[in-house]
Amino acid sequence: MKSRTLRDVKMKLDIKNLTLWQLSVEFKKLGLRSFRARQVFRWIWLKGVRDWSEMSDISKELRTMFAERYRIGQLKVKSRTGSAKQGVVKHLFELEDGSRVEGVWLKDGSRRTVCVSTQAGCSLGCTFCRTAQMGLKRNLLAGEIAGQVLAISKGQAERITNVVFMGMGEPFLNYDACLDAARILNSDFGPKIGARKITISTAGITEGIRRLASEPEQFKLAISLNAADQKTRERLMPIAHRYPLTELMQAVRDYTSMTNKRVTFEYVLLRGVNDRPRDASALILLLQGIPCKINLIPFNPYPGTDYEAPTEVDVNRFSEVIMPHLPAVMVRKSLGGNIFAGCGQLALLQPTADS
């Protein structure tokens, strides 16, 4: 790929940030028919080309015009940690402005899932999450979010089946870019990942939950819950001060009523904090009547944390209490904890020889 100057990056529109519909609108301004947008979109998102000159079924004159007006943004894979054999590969990406984020490839049964980041860092300050200690650097653009999937797919022989927006950042504080990225990934002329195989997670931004309920696509919603009482949730997740549990749960109930879809609740188990019998009883009461699935996730420790992972006995006891009362409960096995690729660990950390 030809090198690009900083002026190119600033002046030219990055074509990778456009959904297929947005690209069609952009090309219509140039007097081009809609099939041109499908051609270009397919070259970029299905074939992964990085330069206009590689688009062999488009005339040289048209490619020259595109190159003068647009650029094809890139992110660099700086490192890969782990292996497909182990079932997890963490990718460190460098964006065009030097910002760095991480994405993770996960193998679980028949699923091949990519976990993408939506922000460089995070502003929410969840006390159990290592990403929160970075603070927020900036939002990612749609092409940077979806581009993580494209870059990871090139390094894996197996087709990606699922995408989860659960990496660094809060997706609903970068709503438009996240939805555009999901639409890019869902497109028939791109990766063609089913809408129901794309899950967007939030720490509880109720406006985002209500917006997602009105979207035409069937993208799935996950809620990072982690506590069933307001006081504990405020301790773990400061965002709970702004969005208390009563308001959050009403938004969830409205969402399930509007969409007829169930919600996934993610519950990170922290030893002695939210894994006690009374916490399990409170969770049953809180989620009563909501069509949902509950993912129990044992805490993944990292350097400097004061929290501890629950024992296997703790996890089994908690799950056994809630399983008879809630519709679907799953204990998620920890993948990538030893390479800091697990839930709450993404913070540009690299494992040491002792990890």
Q: How far is CA 325 from CA 119, 226, 243, 249, in A?
A: 36, 18, 26, 18
d(C-alpha 279, C-alpha 285), whole Å: 10
Residue 160 phi/psi, 5-degree rounding, is -75, 130
343 an active-site residue?
Answer: yes
DSSP-H helix ranges across 70-154: 142-154
d(C-alpha 236, C-alpha 134), whole Å: 16
CB of 296 within 8 A of CB of 267? Answer: yes
Active-site choice (102, 144, 170, 266): 102
- Compute, in degrees rounded to 10, the torsion defined by CA atoms 277, 278, 282, 283: -20
Instruction: State in Å, rounded, how far the first CA of the chain is from the last one.
Output: 37
Active-site choice (122, 126, 129, 343): 343
CB of 142 within 8 A of CB of 192? Answer: no
d(C-alpha 166, C-alpha 129), whole Å: 12
Kindly tell me the burial class for residue 14, based on how many C-beta atoms sit within 10 Å of its own C-beta (0-12, 13-18, 19 or more): middle
Instruction: Pick the closest to residue 279 from 330, 222, 232 (CA basis).
Output: 232
Q: What is the DSSP string of 198-242?
A: EEEEESS-HHHHHHHHT-SS--EEEEE---SSHHHHHHH-THHHH
CB of 191 within 8 A of CB of 127? Answer: no
Instruction: Pick the closest to residue 1 from 50, 73, 69 (CA basis).
Output: 50
Instruction: Pick the closest to residue 185 from 199, 198, 168 (CA basis).
Output: 198
| Residues carrying an active site annotation | 102, 343
